[in-house]
Structure formats: C-alpha cells, structure tokens
Amino acid sequence: MQYDVVVIGSGPGGYVGAIRCAQLGLKTAVIEKYKTFGGTCLNVGCIPSKALLDSSEHFHNAAHTFTTHGINLRDLQVDMKQMIARKDDVVAQNTAGITYLFKKNKIDSYEGVGSFVDKNTILVTKSDGSTETLSAKNVIIATGSKPTVLPFLPVDKKRIITSTEALNIKEVPKTMVVIGGGVIGLELGSVYARLGTKVSVVEFLPSIISTMDAGLGKELQRVLKKTLGMEFYMGHKVTGATTKGKTVTVTAETPKGESISLEADYCIVAVGRTAYTEGLGLEKIGITVEERGKKVPVNEHLETSVKGVYAIGDVITGAMLAHKAEDEGTYVAETIAGQKPHINYNLIPGVVYTWPEVASVGLTEEQLKEKGTKYKAGSFPFKASGRAKASMDTDGFVKVLADATTDEVLGVHMIGPRAADMIAEAVIAMEFRASAEDIARTCHAHPTYTEALKEAALAATENRAIHI
C-alpha cells in the first residue's frame, strides 16, 4: 500500500497527527503494536489514572468531609474490583472513540510493530509473525515512552511495580513506598493514600515536582502530609529493594549519608520515563538516538536528519506531556501539507492531578531570577476565595508573574481546586501576550475559583487585590 503519511504509534501525538493529516487530504495509515489505540495515555496513563483519582477522591470526601456538609454515611467500604472495572470501562470508551475517529477520517490502521526498511518503506510485523510492507512519502515516529527502571532495582511487576501495574492492584494495600516525587508518583500515591494506604515518598531531590515553581512543591507537600498523612523522605538516594513474600524492603541513603530501610506491601518505581525506540530500525536509515533518554534528534520543524521522517511526542526532547504530543502531531501534519504552523513551547502547561491540583505555565520565579529578568509577583490564596470556602477547598494559591516594565504576564503558577482547568485561561492570555492589567480588568463570574487568578493579577499590578 502507498501512503502520503504513515504514523508509527497511536498515542495522543500519533492519532491526532494522523487525523490532521487526513483532514488535510493526505492518504494516511497508522501502525499500532497493541490491540487498542491511544498509547500509554489512554490505556495505562492519563485516562486510567484520572479515573482512579476521581474514584478515590469520592471515597476520601465521603469518609472525611461529608459529615461537615450534613451528609451522614455508615460502613463505608472500598470495592476495589468495581473501582478497577469502572477505570477499565473509561479506558474502553476512550480507545473505542479513536477507532471511530479513524474510520470517520478514512485512516487505515495496521496492528503490529512498525520498522524501517528504508526511509520510504515500513515493515509491519504482526503478532503471529507475518509481515506486510507499506510505502510512505512521509513517516511520523510517535512511539512514545516507557517507565524508566533503575538498574539496581529490578521491577518484578508483582510487588516492585511501575505505574502500569499500579493501575490494577486488586486490594487496598496497608503500606506503599513510592520512589519518585514527580507527577506520576504523587498522583498514584494520592490514589492509594485516599483509600487508606500509608504512603511514603522517597525523592532524591530536595523538593517534590521540582521542575515547577518552588512554591507549588512546598505547598503540595504540606497539604498531602496534612490531608492524606503521606510521608516524605526528601534528599534520599534509593540504594535497592528486595522482596520477601508479600513485603518489599526499600533501602535508601539519607542526606547525611546514613542508611534507612522502609517496609511496604508495594513499591512503585516512578522515576520518569524513557523514549521508546526499540525495534524501529532507525539505524537502517541513519538515525542515531541520543545516549541519554534515547531521544530522537529533530530540527525546528520536528524533522529528523532523514528528509520526510519526523518524530513527535515523548520520543523527542521536551516535556513528556500528551497535549505537547498532540500539538506536535498537528504541527507536523500541517508542515507536510505545506502550511506554516507554530508551537510556543514556553506556553505548554504542566498539570499535576493531585488534590489540590497543581498547574503551571510560562517561566517560574527561579527561572526569571536566573535570567536576570526584572519582574513583579502577585499572589492570592484560596482561603480568601468565597467559592473555595463554599466547597471547603481552601488550600493553595494562584501566583502571577509579570514583567516589571511592560506588565506582560511571564508565568502563572497555581495550586488549588480545578487548577487543571483554570490554567487554560492563563495560557490563552499569555498566547495573546496579555498584561497582568488585562487579566485584572477582565470580568470574572462570581463566585468562581477563577476569581483567584484575577485577584493575583490585581496583586501583581500595584498590589491592589480586593479580597485580601
């Protein structure tokens, strides 16, 4: 079969890129090694984790805040089998949606492993060993990433597990150790902490969510400790883990060089993700991946060193985010079609789906200080928000950073209720190069959580927030 574009991988980058290619009139095919579309995000990442986060949040609220609302319940129990079944159904609905969209856009799909014969010929190797060859004018590599494993800490997928296995634990563990204080570790740790698990987080760096504004990590750690009883071992270097029966013992080195050990029912290894490029046959077309992280090198148009071969998403440099991959999929599709698309990588938001949620876009205070940029900061706490008081979600704050001279918004960082949704307002404002004054003078409905963003913008412009 001959195609204008063949996409290898059907995750958020791959399927969005394929759909945009088809919309632009390009004959398109997608190769997916698994039986369902959607990649890590839809199958074992974003979607199932959010399903469990929602379920566990309902249980936690029922157990801890419903009585304050005047709702009395007795004999609360977690039906883990049903919770997992609901998660699986959510995943099934979403992956079925991709199948529908492929059919709607007349995109051909092939199940198997895609690999290069040459830059215009792709071999599809199916699970039964049979093969099929596709011809392509352009190829988009969208094979995503896989959990990073530590060489001295073998994952047995039973007691020492990755995020994938953590989505299918059939009981509520009494204890759990999470190695890694990043997004994945904190989200999954939150799921089980809400259900009653004693969760300990071991992080090598001095702060959690270390890539985000320092104030966000400090506040999130405080809230997770207060509301969920999570323990944090910061600045600790994990040295190993062993399993005996149903108990995992994790050993670590403290900042002072002393050794400690933590016992738990499960240990989740969440130390990041590595680009997945195995089996692609990149060497056959002269592409060498980077030694660190196995990333595929690309130019400013996301084209590899081989003309007509592009790469997007987790397999290239940058944040490993589904929405980044989606934008890149659209970008490459429009580039192939001869258009002049644009991505502002500074305005790709980052989100942590704990509760409170954490969201950030643009530059952090630490980055502005490092660059020597003169800026002004305005902050507003949710404890002063009428809407947050009504919902008992008063932890957290919104911070707006603006240029000291021009007042242009340079960064917005928030931790609080529905921050994941609220950050979009900041992204749009910054995309149009809004000033803090622009946000401050935009009428926000009352009572809403987004008023906190307006108040923070007011605080950043002559310190004139109204409600604090």
Give residue-wise pLDDT tens across range 57-93: 999 999 999 999 999 999 999 999 999 999 999 999 9
Dihedral of alpha carbons 8, 96, 333, 290, sign: negative
Cα-based distances in Å from 151 to 16, 160, 240, 263: 34, 13, 10, 20
Residue 326's nearest CA partner among 339, 312, 336, 337 is: 312
What integer best gives the mean pLDDT of the chain? 97
CATH for the stretch 2-147+274-337: 3.50.50.60
144 Cα distance to chain centroid: 13
Q: Torsions phi, psi of 117, nearest 5? A: -90, -50
Give residue-wise pLDDT tens across range 222-273: 999 999 999 999 999 999 999 999 999 999 999 999 999 999 999 999 999 9
Residue 119's nearest CA partner among 353, 248, 307, 376 is: 307
Give residue-wise pLDDT tens across range 402-435: 999 999 999 999 999 999 999 999 999 999 999 9
Q: Tell me whether the CATH fold assigned to 2-147+274-337 matches the one assigned to 356-462.
A: no
What stretches of 7-79 show up as alpha helix (H) in DSSP? 12-23, 39-44, 46-64
Strand partners, 61: none
The per-residue pLDDT for 88 is 98
Task: List binding-site positions for FAD.
Answer: 50, 114, 143-145, 314, 320-323
**In the chain, where the domains are located:** 2-147+274-337, 160-271, 356-462
Give residue-wise pLDDT tens across range 119-162: 999 999 999 999 999 999 999 999 999 999 999 999 999 999 99
Cα-based distances in Å from 164 to 99, 148, 223, 353: 22, 12, 26, 17
Q: Is the pLDDT of residue 105 over 90?
A: yes
The per-residue pLDDT for 293 is 85
In CATH, what is the architecture of 160-271? 3-Layer(bba) Sandwich (3.50)
Cβ burial of 296 (10 Å; 0-12, 13-18, 19+) is: buried
In the chain, the largest separation of any two C-alpha atoms, in whole Å, equals 69
pLDDT band at residue 292 using 50, 70 and 90 as cut-offs: confident
446 among known catalytic residues: yes
Q: Which residue has the tokens 């404002």?
A: 429
pLDDT band at residue 291 using 50, 70 and 90 as cut-offs: confident
One DSSP character per residue, 202-231 reads EESSSSSSTTS-HHHHHHHHHHHHHHH--E
Give residue-wise pLDDT tens across range 167-221: 999 999 999 999 999 999 999 999 999 999 999 999 999 999 999 999 999 999 9
The SS3 assignment for 466 reads: coil
Residue 155: HSE in the Cβ half-sphere, 13 Å Cα cutoff: 17
- Report angle CA 270, 45, 165 to the nearest 5 degrees: 60
Residue 435 DSSP one-character state: B
Q: Which two tokens stand for residue 339?
A: 């258009």
Amino acid identity of 247?
A: T
Sheet containing 160-161, strands listed edge to edge, beginning at the edge strand earlier in sequence: 160-161, 266-269, 175-179, 198-203, 231-234
Cα separation, 156 vs 410, in Å, equals: 44
Q: Is the pLDDT of residue 22 over 90?
A: yes
Task: List binding-site positions.
Answer: 50, 114, 143-145, 180-187, 203, 272, 314, 320-323
Mean pLDDT, residues 345-367: 98
Cα separation, 63 vs 66, in Å, equals: 7
The SS3 assignment for 47 reads: helix
- The active-site residue, picked from 64, 69, 301, 446, is 446
Share of the chain residues as helix, strand and coil, in percent rounded to the nearest 5: 35, 25, 40
Give residue-wise pLDDT tens across range 308-317: 999 999 999 9
The per-residue pLDDT for 209 is 98
Residue 313 DSSP one-character state: G
The per-residue pLDDT for 396 is 98
Task: List binding-site positions for NAD(+).
Answer: 180-187, 203, 272
C-beta atoms surrounding 397 within 10 Å: 22
Q: Are 268 and 163 in contact (CB under 8 A)?
A: yes
Fold of 356-462: Enolase-like; domain 1 (3.30.390)
Instruction: Please tell me the pTM assigned to this model.
Output: 0.97
